[in-house]
Amino acid sequence: MKILDNPYFPILLLIAIIWDLVWKLIALWESAKKNQIAWFAVIGITNTVGILPIIYLIIQKYKKK
């Protein structure tokens, strides 16, 4: 378990968790405002380190135009 012995591992893990949480909360807020239950459920359940929420926000940004 060399990765767990790395002194930077806890810091990197914390950064990844915060990154995911921020994007997830933004996307959950937007999907709740638009009453998009399916997106809300998928974003809330999956753990994609921010990738799915970012994709959702990009799609919604271009849908407005």
Q: What is the DSSP letter of 7?
A: T
The pLDDT value recorded for residue 5 is: 83
| Predicted local distance difference test score (pLDDT) of residue 64 | 66
Q: Which residues contact 65 (CB under 8 A, 6 or more apart)?
A: none
Cβ atoms 56, 31 nearer than 8 A? yes
Residues of the chain with pLDDT under 70: 1, 64-65
The answer to whether residues 43 and 52 touch, using CB atoms and an 8 Å cutoff, is yes
Residue-level pLDDT at 1: 62
Question: What percentage of the chain reaches a pLDDT higher than 70?
Answer: 95
Model pLDDT, residue 41? 93
Taking the alpha carbons at both ends of the chain, their separation in whole angstroms is 49
Report pLDDT for 26.
Answer: 95
Question: What pLDDT, on the 0 to 100 scale, is given for residue 50?
Answer: 84
